[in-house]
Structure 1
């Protein structure tokens, strides 16, 4: 008896090859796929931590700009911006290996603005990734207006 494709098929008395046993193939596939799944999980966690770091640094820049805008002198504004950024990041639990805070006070006049930039370098090696020294630098910047009706800082002269 022939099949429609013309293949005569197995003959009577012919020895068929033994049927393969699939037992254990699922555990083998899992053993091969597990490292890839763990790597994908670590990458997702790393991206999540990078986004969280960006949010923390942006919040620190915003609060530092607001604190700087309340000061009377550019020097005091820069010092308060640096202190406020460090405090906000510490309260958020963010440890920066290299924290740089710069306050742009060129337009520090009534009605002007102060802009603060915060750079924070964090370490990602606690994720268990086997590459030591993985660091990520996050930058946040914010501006805050100065009160247009505030008095100019006292220049020390007689009224």
Structure 2
């Protein structure tokens, strides 16, 4: 003789499959969305590192600290635009005080990356990323005061 609980358990067969069929697409979409958010953050960081390296190289080629700062600013703007990175605000700090043969130039780039569409996952709408690069100045180049 079967109890009412046993009869109910037999009638409930297949309900887990139906629940998984309904819930699985939502879980998969959530995982894909999280993957996209992580990818955007990593991609922006890589592009920012590249822009900092390009800017440091451009600054190390210049002959004066003022020209080095201007070259770094311009290079960061064009590198980020070419890479498709959209920053709400960009800050470029160039240390060109050691701009002499054998010296170094340091460029630090900070960028507020917009992640507004990821707000549903609890990710902040903006994230501040920064990258720094140091580039040596060619030892054998002519000094600042002489003509090339």
Same fold (TM over 0.5): yes
Q: Secondary structure of the residue that 1:129 maps to in structure 2?
A: helix
Give the helix-richer structure, 1 or 2: 2
> How many positions carry a matched residue from both structures?
142
Q: 1:54 aligns with which of 34, 45, 52?
A: 45
Aligned to 2:78: 87
1:147 counterpart = 2:142 = no
1:121 equivalent among 112, 116, 125: 112
C-alpha separation in 1, matches of 2:121 and 2:138: 51
Deviations 1:16-74 (A, max 9, x none): 54222324432223434544433332222211111111110000001001100110000
Give the Å deviation of 1:130: 6.4
* Structure 2: gaps (5+ residues): none
Q: CA RMSD in A?
A: 2.3
State the alpha-carbon separation in 1 of the partners of residues 111 and 104 from structure 2. 23
**Alpha-carbon deviation of 1:127?**
4.4
Contact residue 119 and residue 125 of structure 2 kept, 8 A: no
Q: Structure 1: which 5+ runs fail to align? A: 1-13
Say if 2:87 is the partner of 1:100: no
TM norm structure 2: 0.83
Aligned pair in 2 of structure 1 residues 46, 132: CA closer, same or farther (>3 Å)?
A: closer
- Dislocated runs of 4+, deviation >4 Å: 130-133
User: What's the CA shift for 1:152?
Assistant: 2.5
Match of 1:20 among 11, 14, 19: 11
Q: Which residue among 61, 65, 68 is the counterpart of 1:74?
A: 65
Larger Rg, first or second structure (1 or 2): 1
